[in-house]
Amino acid sequence: MLRSVRALLLAATALTGFAALPSVAEETPPAAAVAVNDAIWNLGDLYATPEDWTKDYERLKGDMGSAGACKDTLLKDAGTMLVCLETISRIQKETLKLYVYAFLKSDENLGIAENIERKTQAQTLLVQLGAQTSWLNPAILAAGKAKIDEFRTAEPKLNDVFGFMLDNILRAEAHTLSSESEAVLAESADVLSRASTTYDILADAELPFPTIKLSTGEDVRIDQASYAKYRQAANRDDRKAVFNAFWGKWKEYEGTLGANLAAHVAGHIFNAKTRHYKNALEAALFPDNMPETVYRTLVSQVNENLPSLHRYFKLRKRMLGITDDMGYYDIYPALVQLDKKFSVEDSKTTTLAALAPLGDEYLDILKQGFAGHWAHVYPQHGKASGAYMMGAAYDVHPYLLLNHNDDYDSMSTWAHEWGHAVHTVLTSRNQPFEKSDYSTFTAETASIMNEMLLEDYMVKNAASKEEKLYYLGMALESIRGTFFRQTMFAEFELKIHEEAEAGNPLSGKRMSEMYCDLLKRYHGDAEGVVKIDPTYCIEWAYIPHFYRNFYVYQYATSITGAALLAQRIETGDPKERDTFLNLLKAGGSDYPYELYKKAGIDMASPEPYKALITRMNAIMDEMETLLAQP
């Protein structure tokens, strides 16, 4: 559907999936990677050369005026409206393709200025497009529903391709401003994104991370990448030293980071007030037509089921052999050490086997992607870290950035990101560009489904009791990190917005106090389950997702929906598989809450959340049974 500039930029830059923090990968790829052709993506499917990209950029820069030329003729008749909407849609689609190439080329090596400049050019073009089309929604609203319906009857393609978009615009009448005001808001998008840019620069480039000496005698600089690595250390003193050093450094910048996040929150509130929403949450949920009860039901259900999370922490304490108080730094090490490597070829073959319940149509797309040079697989110097799927180039195919390290986590990430890729392909095959922009709410269901099917497959095929315990532990950790932790983030995000909307000052110190209350409640500090050192309450400042807009709750709802869908699919009933595939094929043709309801799941009710807790407790039951065996 035709989108605002803000939505376009999110579509272009969203790192779909649970990516690591965006820093620079310093590792070198395994020796075998050098000779493997499919370890590098083929950007030639987008543009054969950078020079071809530049030619298209100049062409599209000239086309921007065409997007605004319909302002005075849009409502002449049904045929003219169709031509105008098709013109704008074409320019949007082609500009996104332009951006995808620039974005991916930049992430190959973040140290090449020419690539960063190309990305900035494309982003600026998207902002210009938003300004050129800012009149569109007010014009349609001014015409009124009766006239638009008349046009849709006269020209069926208006209804078939643009009907959902038109309904959505008319739904937003109370929140759409005059053409002049919409133009100002479109131009403000770049300004209101600056707090996120400031965070990225400080967190990824300028924060002077400390160096510590580990028990091995090794000196390690505790930056974001090494924190993620060494917080899993088997040596408990090392883990504590890593936490103290890392969070101690963030604490030194509490005031600056607090002011920066407060500015970002102020931007959300500004947009909500300007568009006449009752609060920032309503404004954030409105584009998806998401009932507020979904957000609040998620938070209430998680809080109701904190005893299951605390049960997991007690099991973790037992398996790690901790005899005194369990600390926050004891959350991350694996419950069982698995000395087993998973190459990229292993990731391919195992993922195909694990996802067999999804059927041949699904597996054929995976095989096509594996053979088609869609992914940049290994870490290398200068490459962006983490993992994501970029699917905004509608007429080409999705691309995946990975940093495969030949471990189980890499294989799980592989399955996750390819879930996004298959979702994108199924959507583009079944929906026009105008209905292809699916919500994160359904996107994460597609990827987490793959993680769960992989977990269940690995448990079923484990070669030993210890290996089975490892995979069960990883499944528990996925639920902790995706369901409980992301909901804790969602609750914090709601609280800081409500605090600011109430007119209360939102300093870094105040944010740390609010986050500390949540951290202690979720981890059972008062009950003696996990003791929280106040130094670690600066963690909020480290989370980049708070610079999105009420984004993180969708991870938690997605793992919930995926668990219920996976449970049904694993019964072997083809109808259940087809229900899931139809959810993916629907893309952005309907609101995500409604798509879930068509799949037989009401995310505003407690039932799906209870089903996930049942899965979690069943995993712990199985682990305790295994632990009781000699």
* Enzyme catalytic residues: 417
CA–CA separation, 72 and 174 (whole Å): 23
Q: Is 544 exposed, middle or buried (0-12, 13-18, 19+ CB in 10 A)?
A: middle
Give φ, ψ of 26 to 5 degrees. Answer: -105, -10
Tokens standing for residue 158: 């208006």
* Residue 171 burial (CB count, 10 A): 13
Sign of the dihedral through C-alpha 333, 338, 341, 346: negative
Pairing verdict, β 399-401 and 375-376: parallel
CA–CA separation, 327 and 525 (whole Å): 9
Instruction: Give one DSSP letter per residue of 591-603, joined into a string.
Output: -HHHHHHHTT--T
Partners of 401 in beta bridges: 376, 388
* Residue 425 burial (CB count, 10 A): 22
CA–CA separation, 215 and 134 (whole Å): 59
Partners of 326 in beta bridges: none
- CA diameter of the chain: 81
- The SS3 of residue 278 is coil
30 secondary structure, DSSP code: P
CA–CA separation, 454 and 366 (whole Å): 15
- Nearest CA-CA partner of 104 in 182, 166, 42: 42
Q: Can you point out the beta strands (E) in 88-214?
A: 211-213
Give φ, ψ of 51 to 5 degrees. Answer: -65, -35
304-to-259, 312, 412, 599, 609 alpha-carbon distances in Å: 33, 15, 29, 26, 10
CA–CA separation, 357 and 515 (whole Å): 41
**Exposure class string for 109-122: b at 16+ Cβ within 10 A, else e:** bbeeeebeebbebb
CA–CA separation, 480 and 471 (whole Å): 14
Computed on alpha carbons and rounded to an integer, the radius of gyration of the chain in Å comes to 24
